[in-house]
Amino acid sequence: MSTLITGAGLIGCQTAALLVGRGERVVLLDREPCLEYIASVVEPEHVTVVTADIRDRDALIESMKQHRVTRVLHTAAALSMSIRREPTLASDVNLLGTVNVLEAGRLLGLQRVVCASSTTVYYPIFHRPHAQPISEDFSFHSVSERPGSLYAASKLAGEFFAQHYAQTFGLSIAVLRYSAVLGLWAGPNHSVPGRLMAELLGQGAGDGPVHISDPLLMWSGGEDFIDAREVARANVAALDAPVLPSCVYTIASGHMARFADFVDAARQLQPGRAISHTNLPATGFAGFAHPRDLPFNVSRAKLELGFEARHDLIESLRVAQRWVKA
């Protein structure tokens, strides 16, 4: 019996390392797996690496049968930057890939399916004032507050499919909405938080000064971040939970961080480096239109999954330092 993880990226490999560490069999499935990248997080001889495309349902099911898979963590996805270049990836990879995983779970009677989603589904509602942290069952206007990107739209659509597969077919499913993930590794990291961490820590600057000018890497208001290692812990908690009453869970720290907090943390870690930036844009994190001032409500994950983040911004940056190329 084994657990299949789709997507051999940072989060998939971090989760594999936790499962391997407690003696479980893990299969990593990726369209273009890189053993060098995988080995930077988990020893490749302790995992089975399969080359397959999440868009190929038959290959996915055959891999599950061959390796006697009983649980799946589905992290494989096309990110926003890739979707901007090739819009159909949102439907072909993110939505169809999720449906393929759900259908494989139904056909093979898997014990548990955990699907990675994103807190970007919340972003269009940030223009409205909120009296308390934002919960999973948020209200929105389906037209004027529709998802703000094709990436977010594909994630929300995947959530709806997952909930219906749970309700209609009795599949045991957890949908985890990751907030902005902090982490670097040997492999590619095109996320906005990853790019910000790398620049603040001197990527390409040697011992010289750092100046942040990209408006996507700065924001007004706050944002709720989560360390990639914490995301891996949440994934394992969702795979292990006896029951999943709510199905959808926000995986975040429950605390707000401002751009100035990142700059301060980077300066503490690099006391001899000059760090500056241009004026902050009026927009929220990653160029989203609306700044925010309240974190997410993370009580469901704590109550039902037994997960609570031990988020520390300075520690996240400290761990990331080893992967920064001067």
User: Is 184's pLDDT higher than 90?
Assistant: yes
User: Is 64's pLDDT higher than 80?
Assistant: yes
Q: Quick one: pLDDT at residue 81?
A: 84
CATH classification code of 2-182+225-252+298-309: 3.40.50.720
Nearest to 97 by CA among 150, 59, 70, 47: 59
User: Is 326's pLDDT higher than 90?
Assistant: no
- The domain segmentation of the chain, as residue ranges, is 2-182+225-252+298-309
The share of the chain scoring above pLDDT 70, in percent, equals 100
Instruction: Tell me the per-residue pLDDT of 128-178, one tens digit each, with 9 for 90 and over.
Output: 988 899 999 999 899 999 999 999 999 999 999 999 999 999 999 999 999
* pLDDT average, residue stretch 240-263: 97
Cα–Cα distance, 179 to 24 (Å, whole number):
27
Q: Quick one: pLDDT at residue 189?
A: 83
The pTM is what? 0.96
Contacts of 155 (CB under 8 A, 6+ apart): 77, 94, 117, 118, 120, 121, 147
Question: With bands split at pLDDT 50, 70 and 90, how would you rate the model's confidence at 44?
Answer: confident
SS3 for 174?
Answer: strand
Look at 326 and 283; give whichever has higher pLDDT: 283
